[in-house]
Structure formats: C-alpha cells, structure tokens
Amino acid sequence: GDQEGWTTLGISASQVTGGNFRIISGGCDPHVISPDNLGLGLTWIQKVYVKVKNGSSSTAARIYFQTDSNPSFSQASSVLFTVTANDSVFQTYEIDMSTNANWTGTLKRLRLDIPDQGDSSGSEILIDRIAVGESGNRPNIVSGGVKVA
C-alpha cells in the first residue's frame, strides 16, 4: 500500500493494508497530515468527509487546515467533531468546515487528529477516506485528489 503523500506524527506504527490507512496511536495527539499545496479553492466547498473506524476510547476528533492566508496549523483553523468510541465498523463523518470563519481562500493542507485529546496509546485507527467537498462514496475518487489509500 501507499500512503499517497500523507505523513504521521504521534503514531507508533502505520501502514496501508486492505485499502485502509492503519495507524497505531503512540500516545497523546496522534495525527495524519496531507501532502502540501492541495490547491483547492474553498469558495464553494463547505464539507470534509472522513470515513474511519476509531479503535480508541475517545469521542473527540479534529480537522485542522492550512490555507494560503493561514499557513500554520492552529486551534483557530480547526473544527472539532464527535466520533464513535471503540467502533467495530467504519463510520463516515460529515464535518461542516464553513462553521470556521478561516475556511476561505485556497486549501494548502489538512491534518486529522483522531482521537483529539487524551492518551490513546496502542489504539488502532483505520482511515478509509478523507474527502474534501464531496462524500467520496465512489471508490478512491475524491475532489482535488485528496485521498487516503
């Protein structure tokens, strides 16, 4: 498998297997980061869709974003969302990014923190898809080429 340019931090192990990006949390604040310079104009894009199986006990996840005018990851450029803890199946979460006033301009990068807070050492997180602007229900076809696995 290929991570498609996505990188990890706070992860003790990661691999692409069975079409999913499998990560094992190394503790607090594990996250995956998209390739840079995605170049997506956000004028008509309001949603990000994340299809994931959360093996941690946390119900909090967060999407951070960088734009041409806000080129750093920060709480001010993020949206918190709720996920199912200790999930046995994949869930698709629809995150309304337009709730954050900084979601404007051109998207450079995304970062997914799952779980967002707390010690999740050893927890397995399986990411099937991160889609910007469309649900990504079609296999591995995602707006702007942003995909995992």
Helix (H, G, I), strand (E, B) or coil at 73: coil
- Please compute the mean of the pLDDT values over residues 20-44 and round it to a whole number: 90
The whole-number pLDDT of residue 96 equals: 95
First to last CA, the chain: 7
- Please compute the mean of the pLDDT values over residues 20-42 and round it to a whole number: 90
The whole-number pLDDT of residue 149 equals: 41
Better pLDDT: 37 or 2: 37
Q: What are the φ/ψ torsions at residue 76 (nearest 5 degrees)? A: -65, -20
- Average pLDDT score, the chain: 86
pLDDT tens by residue, 34-71: 999 999 999 989 999 999 999 999 999 999 999 999 99
The whole-number pLDDT of residue 4 equals: 84
pLDDT tens by residue, 72-96: 999 999 999 999 999 999 999 999 9
- Please compute the mean of the pLDDT values over residues 110-126 and round it to a whole number: 86
Q: How far apart are CA 30 and CA 47, in angstroms?
A: 22
Residue 138 has pLDDT above 50, yes or no: no
The whole-number pLDDT of residue 1 equals: 64
Residue 133 has pLDDT above 60, yes or no: yes
